[in-house]
């Protein structure tokens, strides 16, 4: 089993290592290593199309992670007080949202947003003053943030609920006995206890949103995220510049995931 595990890990990580190695290739051919050079990192960072796509990805990832952390924490706290079949139903819906393939979420989100726009845009035009051009809802930054928020919010709910399940309930009960309001109890007792989980959920949501291609491909409209740019570029062939972009995205994702894991472990130590 150890030997089998080694082969599995090699199968998973050798291609990633090859991309990282060939991102330092001095030549233009991605399959022939012609010397060590960091020139492709400089070219990628000076490419205006890459920078625009990176800015879009960072903006979408930040706001979707922020919304997912806010709404996911609210949902986790609310579900903690629900018992019986209703809670089981919502638990199932949350886990289904995590397990559904991205292409299904992308198609469903696209159909839902298009249907919503077809209903709302005529209503806006009907109440808008004559002679003025009414605003129109369309695919773009807003649809990207909304789609990624719905996708990553389930992750936040699962992480925060795990923190809530291990929290000492006597603390909130003592706060209520001391005549604290529900909001005061949440702000001064519950939130400090679950804050590591909320921050970890934010970082994971940011990482998932930043790396997502499938959902973004369906709802991006005229916007171009970094994964979409990379997918469009590799149609013309894989270059060391693409390898450099992939390596930088991989490094940033690993940093986010490691930071989230550290926050969760620190939270576990505090709870112990």
pLDDT at 193: 81
**pLDDT tens digits for range 209-224:** 888 888 888 888 888 8
Q: Which residues pair with 25 in a beta bridge?
A: 36
**pLDDT tens digits for range 97-143:** 888 888 888 888 889 888 988 888 888 888 888 777 778 888 888 88
Between CA 91 and CA 74 the distance in angstroms is 15
Looking up tokens 């020139």 gives: 39
N-terminal to C-terminal alpha carbon distance within the chain: 33
Burial 168-193 (b: 16+ CB within 10 A, else e): eeeebeebeeeebeeeebbeebbeeb
Between CA 216 and CA 222 the distance in angstroms is 11
The domain limits of the chain are 56-227+254-271
Domain 56-227+254-271 has CATH 1.10.3720.10: yes
pTM listed for this prediction: 0.80
């Amino acid at each position: 089993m150890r030997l089998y595990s080694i082969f599995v890990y090699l199968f998973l990580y050798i291609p990633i290592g090859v991309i990282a190695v060939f991102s330092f290739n001095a030549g233009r051919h991605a399959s022939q290593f012609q010397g060590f050079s960091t020139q492709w990192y400089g070219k990628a960072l000076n490419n205006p199309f890459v920078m625009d796509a990176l800015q879009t990805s960072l903006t979408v990832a930040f706001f979707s992670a922020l919304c997912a952390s806010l709404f996911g924490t609210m949902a986790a706290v609310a579900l903690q007080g629900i018992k019986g079949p209703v809670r089981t139903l919502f638990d199932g819906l949350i886990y289904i949202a995590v397990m559904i393939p991205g292409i299904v979420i992308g198609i469903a989100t696209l159909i839902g947003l298009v249907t919503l726009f077809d209903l709302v845009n005529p209503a806006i035009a009907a109440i808008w003053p004559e002679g003025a051009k009414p605003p129109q809802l369309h695919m773009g930054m807003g649809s990207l943030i909304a789609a990624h928020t719905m996708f990553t919010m389930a992750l936040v709910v699962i992480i925060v609920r795990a923190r809530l399940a291990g929290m000492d309930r006597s603390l909130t009960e003592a706060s209520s006995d001391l005549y604290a309001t529900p909001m005061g109890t949440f702000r001064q007792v519950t939130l400090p206890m679950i804050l590591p989980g909320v921050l970890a959920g934010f970082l994971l949501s940011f990482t998932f949103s930043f790396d997502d291609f499938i959902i973004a491909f369906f709802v991006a409209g005229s916007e171009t995220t970094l994964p979409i740019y990379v997918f469009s570029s590799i149609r013309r062939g894989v270059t060391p510049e693409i390898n450099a972009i992939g390596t930088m995205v991989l490094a940033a994702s690993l940093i986010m995931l490691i930071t989230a894991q550290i926050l969760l472990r620190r939270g576990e130590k505090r709870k112990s």
